[in-house]
Amino acid sequence: MNKLFGSCSAVLFALILSTIVANAQIPAGEQQINNVPAKAQITLKEKAEIYRKAAEAGNASAQFELGKCYDSGIGVEKNTVEAVKWYRKAADQGFANAQYYLGFCYEHGRGVEINATEAVQWYRKATEQGNAEAQNALAECYKKGIGVVQDDAESAKWHRQAFESYHKAAEQGDMESQYQLAVAYQHGEDVKHDSVEAVKWYRKAAEQGKVCAQSSLASCYDRGDGVTKNPLEAAKWYRKVAEQGGEKGQMWFAEKAQMWLAEFYAKGEDTEQDYTEAVKWYRKAAEQGDEKAQEALAECYRDGKGVPKDDGEAAKLYARFTEPYLNAAEQGDAVSQYILGSGYNKSKNYTEAVKWLRKAAEQGYGGAQESLGFSYEAGTGVTRDNIEAYKWLLLALVT
């Protein structure tokens, strides 16, 4: 069962009231949280400050949430040592999620030195309260002999309990458990693989706004895994994910969804081709640093698809795409030299393209040899020379 520590769930606390866990005892700090209107439009920094005030007043739930803020750098500067401090405060009050997170920190050396024995101690405390993540973590400890004597039977026992806990909580509407249950069914972890059942639970979590589940459900519709293939339904769910881009913990899912939507509209195989819509999503993904999106957006400007043709803008985008490879290329990395040369080719800076393609070609990189041969054949960036073209194309064939 996957651990979702540091996953997109770490930022899904837009409604502050939802952080109060039903079985948690909150002796103080309740007023700070309850004074926040359910629909208040506040920044991540303001949310972290609200958690801080309640945490300092002794609110275990707020202490846990503040720890997650420090763990992921949400509304505060990332500081895993500070995160452990607040996890410990909540864990000492018996807050099960904090006990699990603290165990995770000890197991993996996150904000504290690795201590497998201490990790198991905190996992066990959380399991006593029925925490499924802790049950799963303890199962893995027994499976691998981390902090305990390796014991397959004990591992299997805790895996079964974890699955049962996820199932019980999922049936009661717990979004995280619904997602974890879906993952278990999809990958056959602790239960027989069942794509249909996976889709069922992905949908329940997705309908509650779980970004990871929305992305997974979209993927199932895209591939026809556990449900009839339906690209339009996939687009619907990917759009929900794509429109939530930008927040920490969700960025990877947003980029994936944005690129999928861009290709969906650019290809026009299952919907009407719409380059304007494609450019919109390429741009959003490119703004988050997606290299493929930057390259695709550059090609749209180069070819005038979805935007007015603009070679200058295309060149700028190609430069942004190739920039990360420059240092490695200058140090002699053939792959980076080839990527750099290809980027310059696409931006129509043929002289610079040939320079880098030659460097990679002389190191025996087949793709660069082929591209250099075509450059000689077309006379782009070099004087047209069929003999030289034949030489490099032949080398590409035998490399």
For the entire predicted model, the pTM comes to: 0.67
* pLDDT tens, residue by residue, 41-82: 678 899 999 999 999 999 999 999 999 999 989 999 999 999
Check whether 135 has a pLDDT greater than 50. Answer: yes
pLDDT tens-digit readout, 336-366:
999 999 888 887 889 999 999 999 999 999 9
Residue range 322-399 in CATH 1.25.40.10: yes
User: Which architecture characterizes domain 230-309 according to CATH?
Assistant: Alpha Horseshoe (1.25)
Task: Please state, for a pLDDT cut of 90, what percent of the chain lies above it.
Answer: 72
Q: In CATH, what number does 1-168 get?
A: 1.25.40.10
Question: What's the rounded mean pLDDT across residues 27-40?
Answer: 43
At 173-188, the pLDDT tens digits run 999 999 999 999 999 8
219-228: Cβ within 8 A, 24+ apart: 220/195, 222/260, 225/186, 225/195, 225/199, 226/186, 226/194, 226/195, 226/196, 226/197, 226/198, 226/199, 227/195, 227/196, 227/199
Q: Hey, what amino acid is at 232?
A: L
| Structure letter (DSSP) for residue 247 | S
Residue by residue, DSSP assigns 20-85 as S-TT----S-HHHHHTS-TT----HHHHHHHHHHHHHTT-HHHHHHHHHHHHHTSSS---HHHHHH
> What is the mean pLDDT of the segment spanning 245-260?
78
pLDDT on residue 316: 84
Q: Using the predicted structure, report yes or no on whether residue 150 has a pLDDT greater than 60.
A: yes
Residue 9 has pLDDT above 80, yes or no: no
